[in-house]
Amino acid sequence: MTGSNTAPRALRWMAIVPLVLVVWGATTAAGRNARRAFFASLRIARPQSVTVNVPAFSGPTGSHRLQDAVADMLADSVHVAREAPDTTVHDVAAAARLAGFVPALITARADTPLVSVLGARSITMRVNHAQLVAVLAEAGLSSAAAPATVDGTTLTIDTPAGIGMQYGHCPVVEGQTLTNQIAQRPPASTDTGDCVVVEQRPVVAAQVPPGLDMQLLAGVAVEVAGMSPNQERDFQSAFPWAASLALTMPRFIRSYEMTRVNGAPAMLLNTAGRRGPNYELLWTAGGRAFTLTGYGNSADAARLAASIR
């Protein structure tokens, strides 16, 4: 009889002890501290959430331009003084005439690319100091980075025309520009493994009010685009703000690694998923921001980028 009572009693204690621990952890200071320490020991560091109202990042045709994120941090509204459409042209020479510079080509590819001129853009905004302070506070940054003197001042960002070149069998979406096809991750076709798109654009020019830290704001914009704080720090080390504000970011970032392209720091973003593209390689050279996007193996990215001349 004694043995038959021992097992049920043990089971009852097994049920009671966790309940006692939960109550102790919830009702006593020592318990709460112990609970926090326990979960902290298990927790993997997570990116700090930065919530900013950025319509250009959330809409169905959002382009993921970092400059749009910066604009929405600073101002209630943005005046688009100029936004030229992307235009498909016959060849590289025609693109050079329209864009005002001769593009570098992927010499590792023998096929002829489909060439587009990426439209120039100019935006102006009036800085709202209270809004900027609120955004910085939510990002865990000091309001000292936003002096009151910037309130009501005007920021203008001029983005020069760029050139995009599409190699191989790439997905085609009716009515979308080349840039938006990449940003929106179009449905994969039966044969897209050889698809590579390289975009190059001179860095932006801007009229910046004194006291406005554009490098800091570019870093917050990168986190809004989906990067973790660690990714953001690496990105900031490789890209000055004038280059980063010329870039268009992918919608999804699974992982990344820092690398180099012809001696310049670069960031390889792995975006592989159920639908392409699979990777995006970013770097700057000669006053231009480059983006190499591919639907094949990301291991090919560095080789292809190194061949750009």
Domain that holds residue 32: 2-42
Q: How confident is the model at residue 17 (pLDDT cuts 50, 70, 90)?
A: very low
Q: Are residues 29 and 67 in the same domain?
A: no
- Binned at pLDDT 50, 70 and 90, residue 172 comes out as confident
In terms of domains, do 148 and 173 share one?
yes
> What percentage of residues in the chain have a pLDDT greater than 90?
62
Q: Tell me the residue ranges of DSSP E strands in 188-309.
A: 196-202, 205-207, 255-261, 264-270, 279-285, 288-294
49 domain residue, yes or no = no
180 pLDDT band, cuts 50/70/90, is low
pLDDT tens for each residue of 289-298: 999 999 999 9
Neighbours of 113 (CB within 10 A): 21
Residue 40 binned pLDDT confidence (cut-offs 50, 70, 90) = very low
Task: Give the Cα separation of 65 and 249 in Å (integer).
Answer: 6
Q: Which residue has the higher pLDDT, 20 or 142?
A: 142
The encoded tokens of residue 53 equal 């109202």
Q: Residue 64: inside a domain, yes or no?
A: yes
**Residue 17 within any structural domain of the chain:** yes
Whether the CB-CB separation of 160 and 152 falls below 8 Å is answered with no
- Between 225 and 178, the more confident residue is 225
Please write the tens of the pLDDT for every residue from 206-243.
Answer: 999 999 999 999 999 998 888 889 999 999 999 999 99
Give residue-wise pLDDT tens across range 43-53. 333 333 344 44
240, 199: one domain: yes
Whether 47 is covered by a domain: the verdict is: no
Locate 210 and state its tokens: 């004194």
**263 and 302 inside one domain:** yes
| pLDDT value, residue 49 | 37
First to last CA, the chain: 88
Radius of gyration of the chain (CA): 25
Q: Do 18 and 113 fall into the same domain?
A: no
Residue 48 counted as domain residue: no
Structure confidence at residue 79 (pLDDT) = 96
Q: What is the number of structural domains in the chain?
A: 2
Clarify whether residues 8 and 132 are in a common domain: no
Report the alpha-carbon distance of residue 81 to residue 75 in Å, rounded: 15
For residues 114 and 168, membership in a common domain is answered with yes
Predicted confidence at residue 30, as pLDDT, reads 52
- How do residues 98-127 score in pLDDT, each as one tens digit? 999 999 999 999 999 999 999 999 999 999
16 and 135 part of one domain? no
d(CA 65, CA 221): 9
Q: In angstroms, rounded to a whole number, what is the distance separating the alpha carbons of residues 84 and 274?
A: 32
Region class of 124: left (phi > 0), else alpha (psi between -120 and 50), else beta: beta
Residue 250 has pLDDT above 90, yes or no: no
Q: What is the pLDDT of residue 13?
A: 43
Residues 191 and 248 in one domain: yes
Do 61 and 37 reside in the same domain of the chain?
A: no
Residues 15 and 151 in one domain: no
**pLDDT for residue 142:** 83
The tokens of 52 are what? 């900013």
Has residue 86 got a pLDDT over 80?
A: yes
Longest pairwise C-alpha distance within the chain: 98
Phi, psi dihedral angles at 181 (to 5 degrees): -60, -40
Residue 185 placed within a domain = yes
Mean pLDDT over the full length of the chain: 81
Identify the pLDDT of residue 145: 79
Within a domain: residue 140? yes
Q: How confident is the model at residue 182 (pLDDT cuts 50, 70, 90)?
A: low
Tokens found for residue 27: 């009702």
89 lies in the same domain as 230: yes
For residue 50, is it within any domain? Answer: no
| pLDDT reported for residue 253 | 86
Q: Give the predicted TM-score (pTM) of the model.
A: 0.76
